[in-house]
Structure 1
């Protein structure tokens, strides 16, 4: 039986920054108010001439370099994104061409902030068939392009970025991806969604804008509950104890959500990776970016047991357990 190992990792964070003091000039808010409620002091923002595929390409190239592989060796590309360059074709198809890959499957996954986990789950399933050797898994989003900068409850959260993993076929069942699962509950669809831009409302109107709409209080409670339950179920399924986890890497949506999930799961702060303070919430990119940054600064090392968990509009959520 084959398993899925992590061969390489890379990320790209745009150089542009949107600080709380910048937002003070745009909406009725304050640095203290934002930090108290979100833990965010600044956000990574793409340049006007950058699109999602540009960020994804840079992250992918770094992941391939880390893996010591060429793009020609990839057997599939999976991209989790909510902000493709165009409604179609896919960002993954653009990456296939721009990286110089062979004619391989290239697929976008549409699962909001859980897009990266969904892509990882899909890659794991393909690798375990034994027919795929190396798959590129990317989470990339430019949420600044769909953020309403007149809405002080949402514009303080969102940002841009991309992260990528190269996953490969292995035969050591004790390493790599040990478990990954995702879930959905459409009952909460309207708690976090983008009203316009799709087939129901192709063009923005006064009642349906092409900007993120969120019921913050409801999403906060749902996020803490579903991520906590997902973590507990993952640990129960794998027989792993909380004490064995080296690092929790949660979706970076809000520092208070991160803190609550860690507390409910009895994981100490020193085992939690948080990047939200300086980067904000860049959707499906948050987990792979946090993974890459913590690996580069020496916190995460080969052999560490990592736990990912995320939630997003849908409502969707999930977790993954892997030994790096």
Structure 2
């Protein structure tokens, strides 16, 4: 977390280590919900205008560095930072000192031993004169000291709670990032499963024995030879340059479906007379595309296979004829 001093024109900032020479330490502002008066006093000492003192601006100026405290940190005697605007004769309050708590006065009777008269004086004044004669400075009252200790304890507890919340927040952000990464990976896998279709290589590598031969009636080598006859790639890694077929409606599903896969589709239909709806589901296409592929391939296969001679040449027949037939 970035910590920046809010005192006057101070430029102490954790983003610039060269400005933190001398072991600068940052102290958080008192919380406005629990120590509002002290928080407003800090804002005043930092030289903020009175118009900026509201709930929204209190949370913006979070830290004061140790350069602006009399003892380098808040102490019971000087709990507040030094005033950013110093006059010619700075008072103890401008130096961050705690204002003296008002003392309770009570009337006491003092009897003069010589005259026997009784006089009343203020106990507070007599105690004050006695303390001033003993020491030049007044020690803080026990109640004020306990209050300061309580405030410091609350400030430490709030700081520890902030650190715990920050660590928990970072942990939640990390878990959220991991879940987002996992979600993207699952979406990619779902997209792959959706686009996955049957291919001759998939049936050939199936754990079921001779699955391609069962589905088409051809082995993998004969299937590749048949692809050569129909002028389509006989290898799955070869790119199809031209399409010898004429489709009635050439939509995007037919364009994305390789010709080897289309031939597999037609052979599975002819071999086992499978329903077009079942084949469309297995090849991940719609019914219109399935019907268009089957009809187009039937016409194309008729044109190609119809040109092949089914009878051998006369010389071949004569060469392989039995000798008894040759005599006749």
Normalised by the length of structure 1, the TM-score is 0.18
Normalised by the length of structure 2, the TM-score is 0.18
Which structure has the higher relative contact order (CA within 8 Å, separation 6+)?
A: 1
Q: Which protein has the bigger helix share?
A: 2
Larger radius of gyration: 2
